[in-house]
Amino acid sequence: MDYPSNRFRPSSSRGAAHPHRWLAPLITIATLAALVSVVYFTTDGFGLLSHVNTQRELSELWRSGDYQQVVVRANQLLEQTPMQATPLAFAGFSHFYRGMQQIDEDQRQQDLDASIRMLRKALLIPQPPLEAEVHYVLAKAYFHLGEFYYDATVYHMNRAIELGFEGQDHYEYLALAYDGLNMQAESVESYQKAIAIEPSDLLYAGLADTYMRHERFAEASRYFQKAIEVSDDSHLVQRARYNLGRAYVETGQYEAAADQLRAVLENDPRSADAHYYLGRAHLLSGDAERARFQWREAVRIDPRHEQALGSLRSN
């Protein structure tokens, strides 16, 4: 049989239909639907350019520092169109910073919860404006919820850094969260980055505390000294001197330890812990009599001081 030369080509007659021609309208409809969704979620209810005015308006309110007014205006906009990234972001920011100013713990918790809820919604929108800032504030809000949220703090703070938003307290929050997660190396690295950006007594003391918790006493001593040298906060200096004395005891620098602990007792003669560690410094340097005197002082101040009681029993 002779086959026509166009047997394997579509017929040009009107009556013959391409077997896949019905897919084209569906693809077009799906594309239009996706485009409409993106436009809806990234503008103020199909306003196309109105989100620019929304961001400008909320930015001006934000710069005024009136967090309550930002929340009110953002909620008005969200009542019109619930999933607007800009109002969600600014409402979340304002709830967080207002919460940090609250004295009442319940009100503070309510603001933190509202902040997290708003910011998480903002991140559901494809490529939201202020995305890096949203991750940054969300990380801080999670941190202030407590230790069970430190992993969320780490994730969102690192995401903010990846998106190009970076500052000193990024690394301070990371250092604290990593330390809470018992990730010592990451905590130390984050403290060192924060110190490289802008050193402070709090950062020096925080890094020293991290070293102390992991029994790295030589490194702890170095940073407690730095904290003492630069701080004008008497409470921080007192705490740093006490911990420096402890670190010196652990590294065999008994005279240096005694100097720091005596300085602590000059400012707070009723520090039972300082008396106890001063006693340890005396004992380890070979003066058991002076050691027992300090332990008796610790017990006089705190009759239940277990370490001092145990030392008196065994020495």
| Per-residue pLDDT reduced to its tens digit, 284-302 | 999 999 999 999 999 999 9
- Residue owning tokens 């040009």: 12
Is residue 256's pLDDT more than 80?
yes
* Percent above pLDDT 70 for the chain: 82
Q: Which of 128, 158, 180 is the last residue of a domain?
A: 128
Round to whole Å and give the CA distance between 215 and 315: 25
Q: How would you classify residue 157: left for phi > 0, otherwise alpha for psi between -120 and 50, otherwise beta?
A: alpha
CA 135 to each of CA 54, 91, 132, 175: distance values in angstroms, whole numbers, following the listed order: 20, 14, 5, 17
Report the domain count for the chain. 3
- If we measure between CA atoms, which residue out of 86, 84, 81, 137 comes closest to residue 114? 137
Q: Which of 96, 128, 160 is the last residue of a domain?
A: 128
Residues 151, 105, single domain; the answer is no
Q: Is 69 a member of any domain?
A: yes
Whole-structure pTM value: 0.77
Q: Is 3 a member of any domain?
A: no
Residues 181, 100, single domain; the answer is no
Residue 254 structure tokens: 């008994």
Round to whole Å and give the CA distance between 111 and 141: 9
**CATH code, domain with 187:** 1.25.40.10
For the ranges 26-30, 94-98, 146-150, 202-206, the lowest mean pLDDT is seen at 26-30
Residues 293, 229, single domain; the answer is yes
Residue type, position 124, single letter: L
Q: Is 156 a member of any domain?
A: yes
> In this predicted structure, what is the pLDDT of residue 28?
59
Q: Is 285 a member of any domain?
A: yes
Q: Is 8 a member of any domain?
A: no
Residues 122, 134, single domain; the answer is no
Got the DSSP string for 39-58?
Answer: HHHHTTSS-TTHHHHHHHHH
Q: How confident is the model at residue 93 (pLDDT cuts 50, 70, 90)?
A: very high
Q: What is the CA radius of gyration of the chain?
A: 32
With beta carbons less than 8 A apart as the criterion, state whether 233 and 262 touch.
no
Q: Which of 82, 97, 128 is the last residue of a domain?
A: 128
> 40: Cβ–Cβ under 8 A, 6 or more apart, which residues?
46, 81, 83
Burial 260-283 (b: 16+ CB within 10 A, else e): bbebbbeeeeebbbbbbbbbbbbb
Give the structural domain span for 311: 200-315
Round to whole Å and give the CA distance between 288 and 295: 10
Q: Is 302 a member of any domain?
A: yes
Q: Is 27 a member of any domain?
A: no
Round to whole Å and give the CA distance between 247 and 237: 15
For the ranges 20-29, 228-237, 270-279, the lowest mean pLDDT is seen at 20-29
Residues 207, 297, single domain; the answer is yes
Q: What is the DSSP-derived secondary structure letter of residue 269? A: T
Residues 208, 189, single domain; the answer is no
Residues 156, 86, single domain; the answer is no
> In this predicted structure, what is the pLDDT of residue 79?
87
Please tell me which residue, 151 or 52, carries the higher pLDDT value: 151
For the chain, the average pLDDT equals 86
Residues 118, 152, single domain; the answer is no
Alpha helices in 130-216 (DSSP H): 131-145, 150-162, 168-180, 184-197, 201-213
For the ranges 77-81, 199-203, 209-213, the lowest mean pLDDT is seen at 77-81
> In this predicted structure, what is the pLDDT of residue 24?
55
Q: Is 24 a member of any domain?
A: no
DSSP-based three-state secondary structure for 15? coil
> In this predicted structure, what is the pLDDT of residue 77?
86
Residues 119, 137, single domain; the answer is no
Size (the chain), residues: 315
The pLDDT tens digits of the residues spanning 23-51 come to: 555 555 666 555 555 555 544 444 444 44
Residues 80, 175, single domain; the answer is no
H or E element in which residue 27 lies:
helix 23-42
